[in-house]
Amino acid sequence: KAIESTPPLADLDRICDMQEGRMAGKIFWDSEIYEQELEKIFARCWLFVAHESQIPEPGDYVATTLGEDEVLVVRQKDRSIKVLINACPHRGNKVCFAEAGNARGFICNYHGWAFGPDGALRGMHESGVYEQSGFDKSRQGLREARVDSYKGLVFATFAADAPSLADYLGPMTWYLDVILDNDEGGTEFIGGCIRSTYECNWKIAAENFVGDILHAGWTHDSAAQAMLGGSVTKVSELPESYQVNWNGHGYEFARDLVGNAAVLGESAINKYLHLHSPKAAERLGEFRARMLGAVSSFTVFPNFSFLPGQNTVRVWQPRGPNKIELYTWVIVNRNAPAEVKEKWRRGAMMTFSPTGVFEMDDGENWEYCTKTSRGKVTRYQDLYVGLGMNSRLSDTELPGNVFRGQLNEANARAYYQRWKDLLQARTWAEVPDRNGKLD
Ligand code: FES
Ligand code: FE
């Protein structure tokens, strides 16, 4: 059944005007906005659920959420992947309480309904009673989401009218390949999933990764000096850097920083990237091979982000207007030497984990960006999102909407414009295509 579409909010133009490059803090605090986001963004968009390497064998599963809907991502016997709602269709009890594992099926604790790994209802405690009531087992399975994957990354959506995943990601896959396809062995997640919470709105975190390198040289400078032995690379002095966006997804990157010591810090990684660079160039071409290890970050709309240089991958799971649960993993090339993988894991822990120095810097800023908006006056204060207006490059072969310079808010504007467009649309068909029409 289709998810009911509630009418759009009346003051969206007042609180988000990206042609003017301004918005209001209300978008980070309001519970009515949050309810609309769950319906029109999280129940509608393709959301990242797992890396295929987390569930290699039939019966392997991980638990995650699509917005606040709890789901299980399960490898099937035929090696396909299903995403099933983790809620029993009898009274709604959770059918799996573990975060990951291998199971022959899932049995509900309440009245004993038992489901196969494919979500089909196989049997019930006191099954005779059901037979007497003309019960149709085949109509009572765990609800399935649409599933598709891109080079190891598995996405799901409950929206029947959503475009295909390929159309949803569009030309941004060309950039995703820098991390996902620079080696023939592909990628894998190593270590477990780290879960932590922040009292901030999910958008401020996702926006930070869509294109806010501006904060890094200021927010993270002391941590970089203390932990990595030098300041964060001064992006304004780099000869060549870009922001690129498409339908709310955004990537910012510089080039020619392979093995940037101040950013990566770990010599084994630098060495690996230098040695690997020619091989990466064979697969990706010179341009993208020189993006490896550079100061860059990426958000796939709405809440899936990663830092290619640091190899951390994260999902900003919404848990109310002013709370997120952050799921973090470390992604590496499957064929990289064990020593390099371990350096990447430790590097990510040192910088972008709940105990990492950069994560703490960011978390505090995001929490206050959110909390100040609880004030009735502050909530409507104009927030400036105007950096880099008119910086769009028209004479480039690069895919997507390309902007000059990383110190730019072009990606943030495109991100919030997509957010607004989705909140205004009642169906996918009503979501406008603004590529090339913003900035
Ligand atoms: Fe699951 Fe009743 S709620 S069997
Ligand atoms: Fe940061």
Angle at CA of residue 32, ends 30 and 36, nearest 5°: 115
- For the chain, percent of residues with pLDDT exceeding 70: 96
Looking at domain 12-42+171-430, does it have CATH number 3.90.380.10?
yes
Residue 125 CA: nearest ligand 1 atom is 4
Ligand 1 midpoint to CA 94 (Å): 9
Q: Given 11, 13, 215, 382, which residue is catalytic? A: 215
Across the beta sheet with 241-246, the strand order is: 187-198, 324-333, 312-318, 304-307, 296-300, 249-254, 241-246, 401-404
Looking at residue 72, its amino acid is: L
The reply to whether ligand 1 has any atom less than 6 angstroms from the CB of 180 is no
- CATH 3.90.380.10 location in the chain: 12-42+171-430
pLDDT at 262: 44
Ligand 1 midpoint to CA 47 (Å): 27
Residue 93 CA: nearest ligand 1 atom is 3
Spatial CB neighbours of 148, under 8 Å, sequence gap ≥ 6? 46, 154, 155, 156, 164, 165, 166
The DSSP annotation for 329-344 comes to EEEEETTS-HHHHHHH
Q: Is 361 tagged catalytic?
A: no
All residue ranges of the chain with pLDDT < 70 are 1-4, 256-266, 436-439
Q: Is 111 tagged catalytic?
A: yes
Residue pLDDT, tens place only, 277-336: 899 999 999 889 888 877 789 999 999 999 877 899 999 999 999 999 999 999 999 999
- Token readout for 205 is 């975190």
What CATH number should be reported for the domain whose range is 47-150?
2.102.10.10
pLDDT at 352: 87
**E-state strands within 112-236:** 113-115, 121-124, 146-150, 153-157, 187-198
The reply to whether ligand 1 has any atom less than 6 angstroms from the CB of 125 is no
C-alpha atoms less than 13 angstroms from C-alpha of 118 in its C-beta half-sphere: 9
The reply to whether ligand 1 has any atom less than 6 angstroms from the CB of 113 is yes
Ligand 2 midpoint to CA 332 (Å): 21
pLDDT at 258: 53
Q: Is 362 tagged catalytic?
A: yes
Residue pLDDT, tens place only, 144-190: 999 999 999 999 999 999 999 999 999 999 999 999 999 999 999 99
**Rounded to whole angstroms, what are the CA distances from 226 to 20, 113, 212, 387?**
39, 55, 22, 30
pLDDT at 436: 59
The reply to whether ligand 1 has any atom less than 6 angstroms from the CB of 111 is yes
Q: Is 220 tagged catalytic?
A: yes
pLDDT at 357: 87
**E-state strands within 180-279:** 187-198, 241-246, 249-254
Ligand 2 midpoint to CA 148 (Å): 30
Pairing outcome for strands 60-66 and 100-102: antiparallel
Fill in the DSSP letter of residue 379: G
Ligand 1 pocket test: which of 70, 85, 86, 88 has the largest number of ligand atoms within 8 Å of its C-beta?
88
- CATH 2.102.10.10 location in the chain: 47-150
Q: Is 90 tagged catalytic?
A: no
